Homo-oligomer: A and B are copies of this chain.
Amino acid sequence: MQSTTTVPFPSLDPRTGEERRRFLDATPDELGKALAAAARSFTVWGDFDPALRVTVLRGISEELSARRDQLTATAAAETGLTGQRLAGEIERTRLQLIQFAELLENGGHFDAVIDPATPDRPDVRRVDVPLGPVAVFAASNFPFAFGVAGTDTAAALAAGCPVVVKGHPSHPETSELIAAAVHTALAAAGAPDGVFHLLQGSGLGIARALVTAPGITAVAFTGSLTGGRALFDLAASRPRPIPVYAEMGSLNPVFLLPGALADAAVRLADAFVESLTASNGQLCTKPGVTFVPRGESGDRFVARAVDRAGEYPPGTMLNRPMWRHLVAGAAELADRPGVTVLAGGSAPDGEGSSFPASLVETGLDTFLTDPALAEERFGPFGVLVRYDTPGDLVRAVASLDGHLTATVHLGPGDEDDGRRLAAGLTGKVGRLVWNGWPTGVAVTDAMHHGGPYPASTSAAHTSVGTGGIARFLRPVAFQNSPQSQLPAPLRDSNPLGITRRVAGALTTESITGTTTTEGRAHA
């Protein structure tokens, strides 16, 4: 590979359109060096002893904390997100890092299973090992939590995988600052060179080169369906295919059942608009379509939501392409037959990249026949679908593609309809929310942030919560191994003191008296 010159791309302030700095796309030469260093570092970084990784994960958290003010100010200038929102996001990013450190300290990532020998078969023990160097594509809308040291990077580093991150071109200066924090933490812990590398880039070339590089063993991505599918297709067509864990957003349907609205239409409308406009609607869990019963209480919900949307000051979109996409999408929907614009719907006059909270209304039959209404529109934009009776919602559920989330609001008398909806929705989503809102993804063991295609390319995997580490691990079984040759998590003495499944039962005890056999040819 040779160095090639690249065209600089700018860091822009979406609030003003002002150019802040220029950045260069990473060259093939830089990528080649990063991959070679990542491969060299893997032996040390992927060791069965997770102590170094624990130190580094905690160190990154500390470094992010120490740089909070600079990180927040820079990200605000590059994304238009508020300082308060960004400060909260840094805390969430730190929580992610610390939860993975705790997981490693408890040995929960090993998934150690020991089946001592029986008269019929040899001793077999299994433990999870890291895949190898991993490519992470950072998101535009969470410069920290899904950014250069976000949930994907944290999970891969925790697993023992060196990480090459492609930063999002929408906030390159923020990416650079985060990368500096990571490098400081790695150096302080004495980690080998190559564990982490940030590639900047606005073009497709570096992304393609990264995903097709022979040394890369898995890809994590958060972004659009188009982008995620392109990476998936590239990875599947490699001589040696690798998994792509792409979280590609969704419509996140919300079902308001009549009983829920009876006494609470106003309160629910307020909460709905708060969820719709959180981070200016630029969340992959935004409630993009909401099913509202026809009739008096539904009308009250809609009227209140329209009022609240009107009070919401137009917010700045993350970048100009995203703003243009929303402007065009809103205009397209406004022209569809059977669709009424109730609030917002077009950009205010002037420069900037702002857009108002917008609501359009349609009927269930129109929704079911016009696919444009089921497209995700990033930004503070929601579709309200009016239905006659809860029984009609069965058709709506059947029509749904895979989604990250679905939400049901139920009240007195809605229990049976709720059960019917839940039965159908469980087959369509990664998370089912009751009497709440889909925005806000709790960083916890039980969280599942993913879902059937097209919400993600791997329905079995989450990108949020400690479960996300599974994306970067694979099991290896050790058969009839001498104790001295076993990895520490599998030794009889349980030197790490971890929980293991031994002969079918979970235990932290050590094992006495296992033996190895010799020379049995086959079972």
- A477 contact from B278, B430, B457, B521, Cβ within 8 A: B430
Chain B minimum-CB-distance residue to A240? B453
**Chain B residues with Cβ under 8 A from A132's Cβ?**
427
Q: Known: A124-B444, A485-B418, A516-B435. Is A459-B474 also a contact (CB below 8 A)?
A: yes
> Complex: how many Å from CA A448 to CA B126?
7
Q: Known: A436-B479, A453-B240. Is A415-B446 also a contact (CB below 8 A)?
A: no
> Complex: how many Å from CA A470 to CA B115?
19
Could you mark each residue 388-421 of chain A with 1 if its beta carbon is under 8 Å from any beta carbon of chain B, else 0? 0000000000000010000010100001001100
> Complex: how many Å from CA A423 to CA B476?
12
> Complex: how many Å from CA A43 to CA B423?
9
A338 within 8 A of partner (CB): no
A20 within 8 A of partner (CB): no
Could you mark each residue 209-252 of chain A with 1 if its beta carbon is under 8 Å from any beta carbon of chain B, else 0? 00000000000000000000000110011001101000000000
- A241 contact from B131, B408, B453, Cβ within 8 A: B453
A444 and B121 contact, CB distance less than 8 A: yes
> Complex: how many Å from CA A430 to CA B459?
23
**Chain B residues with Cβ under 8 A from A113's Cβ?**
445-446
- Specify which of A236, A429, A435, A440 lies most central, judged by the most chain B CB atoms within 10 Å of its CB: A435
A484 within 8 A of partner (CB): yes
- A434 contact from B115, B418, B482, Cβ within 8 A: B482
Q: How many copies does the complex hold?
A: 2
A442 within 8 A of partner (CB): yes
Could you mark each residue 466-481 of chain A with 1 if its beta carbon is under 8 Å from any beta carbon of chain B, else 0? 0100100111111111
B426 and A519 contact, CB distance less than 8 A: no
A124 and B442 contact, CB distance less than 8 A: yes
**Chain B residues with Cβ under 8 A from A274's Cβ?**
521-522
Chain B proximity of A114: nearest CB distance (Å): 6
Chain B proximity of A365: nearest CB distance (Å): 24
Chain B minimum-CB-distance residue to A431? B477
- Specify which of A131, A241, A444, A506 lies most central, judged by the most chain B CB atoms within 10 Å of its CB: A444
Query: A450-474: which have CB < 8 Å to B?
Result: 452-454, 457-460, 462, 467, 470, 473-474
A433 within 8 A of partner (CB): yes
A28 within 8 A of partner (CB): no
Query: A58-84: which have CB < 8 Å to B?
Result: none
| A residues apposed to B, CB below 8 Å | 43, 113-115, 121-122, 124-126, 129, 131-132, 232-233, 236-237, 240-241, 243, 267-268, 271, 274-275, 278, 283, 402, 408, 410, 415, 418-419, 422-423, 426-427, 429-437, 439-442, 444-448, 452-454, 457-460, 462, 467, 470, 473-482, 484-485, 487, 499, 501, 504, 506, 516-523
- In order of increasing CB-CB distance, the 5 nearest A-B pairs are A440-B523, A440-B522, A274-B521, A236-B236, A439-B522
A-B contact pairs, 27 of them (CB 8 A): A113-B446, A114-B446, A115-B444, A121-B444, A233-B236, A236-B236, A241-B457, A274-B521, A274-B522, A432-B477, A432-B478, A432-B481, A434-B482, A434-B485, A435-B480, A435-B518, A436-B519, A436-B520, A437-B521, A439-B521, A440-B520, A442-B479, A442-B523, A459-B474, A460-B473, A460-B474, A467-B475
With contacts A419-B485, A436-B519, A446-B477 known, what are 16 further pairs, Cβ within 8 A?
A43-B423, A115-B447, A121-B442, A122-B442, A236-B241, A268-B519, A432-B478, A432-B479, A432-B481, A433-B479, A433-B480, A434-B478, A434-B479, A435-B519, A436-B517, A460-B475
